[in-house]
């Protein structure tokens, strides 16, 4: 399991990429759903 998260020493690069991507998408989804719910 910890091997998986270590990503062969590339953890910062791999998880930094995936983390920021999902954060971006999550923020967009929340913003859009809030706008949708306001109506």
Partner 1 sequence: MRWFWYASPQTFFPLAGRIAVGCGMAAAVLGLAGLYIGFFVAPTDAQQGEAYRIIFIHVPAAWMSMFIYLVMAFWAALGLALNTRLSGMMASALAPTGALFTFIALWTGALWGRPTWGTYWVWGDARLMSELILLFLYFGFMALHAAIEDPRRADRAAAVLALVGVVNIPIIYYSVQWWNTLHQGASVSLTRAPTMAATMLAGMLTMALAFWMYSIAAAMLRVRGIIRERGAT
Contact residues for partner 1, defined by CB under 8 A: 4, 7-10, 12-14, 16-18, 20-21, 24-25, 28-29, 32-33, 35-36, 39
Shortest distance in whole angstroms from residue 5 CB to partner 1 = 11
Shortest distance in whole angstroms from residue 21 CB to partner 1 = 5
Q: In whole angstroms, how far apart are CA 26 and each of 1, 3, 35?
A: 25, 27, 14
CB atoms within 10 A of CB 32: 10
Cα 10 to the center of its chain, rounded Å: 17
Shortest distance in whole angstroms from residue 2 CB to partner 1 = 13
């Amino acid at each position: 399991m910890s091997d998986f998260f270590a990503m062969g020493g590339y953890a910062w690069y791999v998880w930094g990429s995936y983390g920021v991507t999902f954060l971006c998408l999550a923020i967009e989804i929340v913003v859009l759903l809030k706008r949708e719910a306001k109506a």
